[in-house]
Structure 1
Amino acid sequence: MQNIDSYLFMLKKFLGSLMMPLPLVLLLLVWAVLMLLRKKTRWLGGIFTLLATALLFAASYAPIANRLIAPLEQEYPGYQVAAEPADYVAVLGHAHASSEIQPITSQLSPTGVVRVTEGIRIYRLNPGSKLIFSGDKFEEPFSYAEKSRQLAISLGVPAEDILLIEGVKDTAEETLALAAAYANSNLVLVTSASHMPRAMMLCSKVGLQPIPAPTNYLAKPVRKKLLFPSARTLAKTQYWAHEKLGQLWTRLTLHAGEKPTRAVSVQPASEDKAH
């Protein structure tokens, strides 16, 4: 059963990556070249070339990308201090790469650094609360949760105020683990603004009702009159496509009451872990 779950996870990641804007553009161009090699289908090759060019332009042009991603990011407002202090501040995982020669701020992805920083900010707004970091190793020597712990400690958070959820490989497993351990607590959930709608959808399916705290907003006001397509804007469109596909996958596959597909460790962080 675990092997089947692993294969489904890999299939989800493969199909999701294939459906991103840049791979789609490359597939259209490859198909266009094949069509252009034959006289009878050259007109079709021209159409595919135009489609690929139009898709690449739309995906990398800031006004279009912002109009796509802004509705996702605006679905939940930014965190405001509530009358009742939070018990826990859960920061969802992202990507990381361990390195002995790079500072901890470079071992977490830029998105991960923003999430951890926002989590620390909210933790400090709620005296007596604890931080929860989640994430798997993904072939690395240390988990994402452990690397987040290291960053938080380097920024002044006491180790005893940090809890780790390890062995969870995606948002679905993170929310299941949070629901199992903290369903009856006043919980704040920190993640990227574009990811928050899907995270809250998954929380709802497992009976968890956290306070949303979106961060890492990508849609920015466009003030320049002369704009050109850019790779940075293309990355924003990729986030949008990733979340839309993730929401579709969630609606199709996830059922309330589903259990994590592998062992999950929920534990306090300790000072004796490797740095």
Structure 2
Amino acid sequence: MELTPFFFGLYKFVKYGLYPLTWVVLLLVAATILALFPFSPTRLRWVRQLVASSLLLLVTCSSPWIAYPLIGSLESWYHPPQLTPSDHFDAIVVLGGGIDEKGSLRPTAEPNSYSKNRTTCGVNLYQQGYAPTLVLTGGDARVFGTGPQVATEMRRWAVRLGVPESATKIDTEARNTYENATGTKRLIGPASILLVSSASHLPRAVPVFTKQGFRVTPAPCDYVAQNLPRESWDNIDPLDFLPDDTALQYTTEAVTEVAGIIVYWLAGKL
């Protein structure tokens, strides 16, 4: 069943609790609170341990030599499909990855980099003639208030890339991967599909769609890691041992994806 607004908000709140940066902040807050009280040998030891732990966690999670093999282990789950001109599917389904909203500086709402990259991959497959229909799925993921719908902006991007609007279908209600699958099923039924999403997202998305009755061929795109995890150490750069904000982002994505797989499995959605 789809999440109610309350449980969707709770889901988003709990998700923030999985972020490595959240744990770093919590450790530092705990150390700060202890430091406000008169010191004793025990309290001083706890402060030192909390500060050291937060520093170790931050350096580890923001190091490229940790982040890239970690997210690469998810991205290597499914390889790009080896398609031939005779292969044909009922639809190409592209999962939304978010939206950049209109503001005082940005003149219009537009798909974020994840949604743009995924849509571009889907358009490329459509233009090669693998399916007559391009399905774009993604709704308003705001917890408070309302915002633009991801699928609507993805359709605009697909049309700009040359796809006829008549060849597209959109699901503007989905807020997570499970709702992507159920919303797509309402649109086209349990069809034969090419499923397009970021490579790190497909280990969760493919079994979710399969359980809804789709015949799924994964089409990963938007790769982060350059090489397979077992090859990550072949070309080590000394700078990879230094903290990097992009590496922290990729570690966060990997952690939340693994957690999402576990939660979906426990909920019986895989």
TM-score after normalising by structure 1: 0.84
Give the total of aligned pairs: 254
Paired residue for 1:266?
none
TM-score after normalising by structure 2: 0.86
Note the C-alpha offset of 1:255: 4.6
Question: Which of 202, 207, 210 is 2:208 aligned to?
Answer: 202
Paired residue for 2:246?
232
Letter in 2 for 1:56: L
Letter in 2 for 1:7: F
Provide the alpha-carbon RMSD of the alignment.
2.3
Paired residue for 1:264?
none
Deviations 1:162-209 (A, max 9, x none): 111121111101111223443443211001111100101212332223
Paired residue for 1:6?
5
Question: Which of 64, 67, 72 is 2:66 aligned to?
Answer: 64
Paired residue for 2:28?
29
Deviations 1:61-94 (A, max 9, x none): 1011112111111000013324322221110012
Percent identity over paired residues: 27
Change (3 A) 1:11 1:206: same
Question: Which of 122, 132, 135 is 2:135 aligned to?
Answer: 132
CA–CA distance in structure 2, aligned partners of residues 185 and 191 of structure 1 = 17
197-206 or 232-241: bigger deviation:
197-206
Structure 1 unpaired stretches of 5+: 257-275
Pair 1:73-2:75 in alignment = yes
Question: Does the 8 Å contact 1:136/1:143 carry over to 2?
Answer: yes
Question: Does the 8 Å contact 1:191/1:214 carry over to 2?
Answer: yes
Note the C-alpha offset of 1:220: 2.8
CA–CA distance in structure 1, aligned partners of residues 255 and 131 of structure 2 = 38
Aligned partner of residue 239 in structure 2, secondary structure: coil
Deviations 1:134-165 (A, max 9, x none): 11134555311110011111111111111111
Deviations 1:25-61 (A, max 9, x none): 1001111222334423110111111111111111111
Question: Which of 47, 50, 54 is 2:49 aligned to?
Answer: 47
Paired residue for 1:114?
117
243-252 or 177-186: bigger deviation:
177-186
Aligned partner of residue 4 in structure 2, secondary structure: helix
Aligned partner of residue 178 in structure 2, secondary structure: helix
Note the C-alpha offset of 1:247: 1.0
Aligned partner of residue 210 in structure 1, secondary structure: strand
CA–CA distance in structure 2, aligned partners of residues 202 and 190 of structure 1 = 13
Deviations 1:103-155 (A, max 9, x none): 77x72111111111111111112255211111113455531111001111111
Letter in 2 for 1:146: T
CA–CA distance in structure 1, aligned partners of residues 155 and 236 of structure 2 = 38
CA–CA distance in structure 2, aligned partners of residues 252 and 188 of structure 1 = 26
Letter in 2 for 1:253: A
Question: Does the 8 Å contact 2:190/2:215 carry over to 1?
Answer: no
Letter in 1 for 2:54: A
Matches within 5 A, 1:146-165: 146-165=152-171
